[in-house]
Structure 1
Amino acid sequence: MPRYRDRRSAGKLLLDALRPSLQETPVVLALPRGGVPVAFEIAMALNAPLDLLLVRKIGVPGREEFAVGAIAEGDPSYAVADPRTLSFFQLSTEWFEHAKALQLEEIKRRRLAYGGARQWISLTGKTVVIVDDGVATGSTARVALEAAAAARPSRLLFATPVGASSALAKLRPQVDDCICPYIPQPFEAVGQHYDDFEQTTDAEVVALLEQARSRQ
């Protein structure tokens, strides 16, 4: 049976698991689009600022759900790749660079769709919580954490309602704490653990951000 009704109910349950790891009000950064409803519930309950960290998965051609890497917005941008996966699918360095460029364009499009230039909340010296709706391979989360760490937060945490144990093991060395209350064995797909896993729309992201900012 699915563990969670939908992303927002998952956010409320994730908050209970996250609270013991918090020593101060954090900055909450959501990974769009699915991570936004989860992060919204956490930010509202903690009266914490909510922002986005735009990250795009780079998928294998024809099997885009299978991540070979990921890229995050930034100046400069941050990218990670899995050399073994690139080699297995015979994907060249040139292909990866081209795929990165395409995903950066999509990041720019989404930033405009979500309200234009980011009103980036300073992360330096603060507790930062990166939130997603689930972790399968961890490539998206890895590059997001790398990008956030470059801003020198005092503590960096990653929180997700459900994840694969192998992916979480790779993420833990990057953070001060990794919070995931449900680690199913075996793990096949994030969506299997939600009753409602309909894709979060751009309009929903904008509405939740506006609601969060009006509260702040």
Structure 2
Amino acid sequence: MQNPLNNIVNVTSFIGNSAHSTRRKILFENREDALEKLLSNLPLSFFGQDCIVIGISFEGIYFAYRLAQTLKAPLAFLFTSPILAPNNPECEIAMATETHDVVINEPLVKSFEISLDYIYGEVQRQYEDKMLPLIYQYRKGNPLISFKGKRVLIVDEGIDSGLTAFSAIKSVITLQAKTVHFACPVAPCDVAEIMEEATDGLFCLYRPKNFVDIGYYYRDYPPIEMERIEEIFSKIQGE
């Protein structure tokens, strides 16, 4: 698979409309509804015995878990952490993963005149301060299972800017997966188009042009309970 990831950093400058329209477009009643629709539209037989399912967010881990169960495939979780602008803690300028791969929002970095030294220093700091403690908490400090030569399916409950998704794709390619596919219920049209180039295939139910945010398209979108997250991680460790 060709690797176009060198060309994807610019698309992460996408910013959705932050104002929720009064004529809200409801696509899913809740997460369970979105999951069932996603499952019913996935070519499950396409993924063979060498498939690994990967979750990349706490919000989407239930989707990844259910999909792994359906495929009877191993489930892994890739930890990520945002890199924030030095003078604006609300602004994500890059996303790093536990494999030390990073995807940078180049337009923002150039606009704020942020050095690459700062970004790569933050990658190491985020790994030590945030990701490593989570790896010990949820994976008992164990390394990721091997993706080499495997058909990897990355799953999330939706995509916003694409920073997390693209960083995960980059990590999976670094870890020598045979193929990389991505599945989610909803994603911005602009970002989805680039994801199709960056992967072997994107399975996405809806691709709104005037994207707002993931929760906007769910009628019921409560926070994921930590008990459920911990339960799924305990099942991953028990497999």
Partner of 1:129: 153
CA-to-aligned-CA distance 1:26-50 (integer Å, 9 cap, x gap): 2100002112011111111122111
Render the CA deviation track for 1:8-41: whole Å, top value 9, x for unaligned: 4423322222225724142100002112011111
Contact 2:83–2:93 (CA<8 Å) still a contact in 1? yes
Partner of 1:151: 175
RMSD: 2.3
- The corresponding residue for 1:27 is 52
CA contact (8 A) 1:123 1:152 kept: yes
Task: State TM-score, norm by structure 1.
Answer: 0.86
What is the percentage of aligned positions where both structures have the same residue?
Answer: 23
Name structure 1 gaps, 5 residues minimum.
none
User: What TM-score, normalized by structure 2, do the two folds share?
Assistant: 0.79
Q: Is the 8 A contact 1:51 1:209 kept in 2?
A: no
Kindly name which structure, 1 or 2, has the bigger radius of gyration based on alpha carbons: 2
Residue identity opposite 2:65 in structure 1: F
1:47 aligns with 2:72: yes
The match for 2:222 is 198
Q: CA deviation at 1:115?
A: 3.4
1:60-99 alignment, distance < 5 Å: 60=85, 61-62=87-88, 64=90, 66-74=91-99, 77-99=100-122
Output one character per residue of 1:165-191: Cα deviation in whole Å (capped at 9) or x when no partner.
111222222211011111123101111
Q: Which of 137, 142, 154 matches 1:118?
A: 142
Structure 1 CA distance for aligned equivalents of residues 216 and 232 of structure 2: 24
Q: Deviations over 1:66-104 (max 9, x none)?
A: 432110112xx1112122111223333344234323422
Asked whether the 8 Å contact 1:114–1:205 carries over to 2, the reply is: no
- Tell me the secondary structure at the aligned position of residue 114 of structure 1: helix
Deviates most, 36-45 or 102-111: 102-111
Return 5+ residue gaps in structure 2 as ranges.
1-24
Distance 1:99 1:119, change over 3 A: closer
Match of 2:83 among 47, 52, 58: 58
**2:183 partner letter:** A
Between Structure 1 and Structure 2, how many residues are aligned? 212
Return closer, same or farther for 1:150/1:9 CA change in 2, 3 Å cut-off: same
Cα distance change, pair 174–185 in 1 and its aligned pair in 2 (3 A)? closer
Q: State whether residues 181 and 199 of structure 2, in contact with CA within 8 Å, keep that contact through their aligned partners in structure 1.
A: yes
Report which stretch shifted further, 44-53 or 198-207.
198-207
Aligned equivalents of 2:162, 2:57: Cα separation in 1: 15
- Report the secondary structure of 2:43's partner residue: helix
Cα distance in structure 2, aligned partners of 1:115 and 1:154:
24
Give the Cα–Cα distance (whole angstroms) in 1 for the partners of residues 176 and 88 of structure 2: 37
Q: Secondary structure at the match of 1:180?
A: strand
The aligned amino acid for 1:49 is P
Corresponding residue SS for 1:106: helix
Q: Is the 8 A contact 1:21 1:177 kept in 2?
A: no
SS across alignment from 1:145: helix
Structure 1 stretch displaced more, 101-110 or 148-157? 101-110
CA distance in 2, matches of 1:54, 1:7: 22
Greater Cα offset, 95-104 or 182-191: 95-104
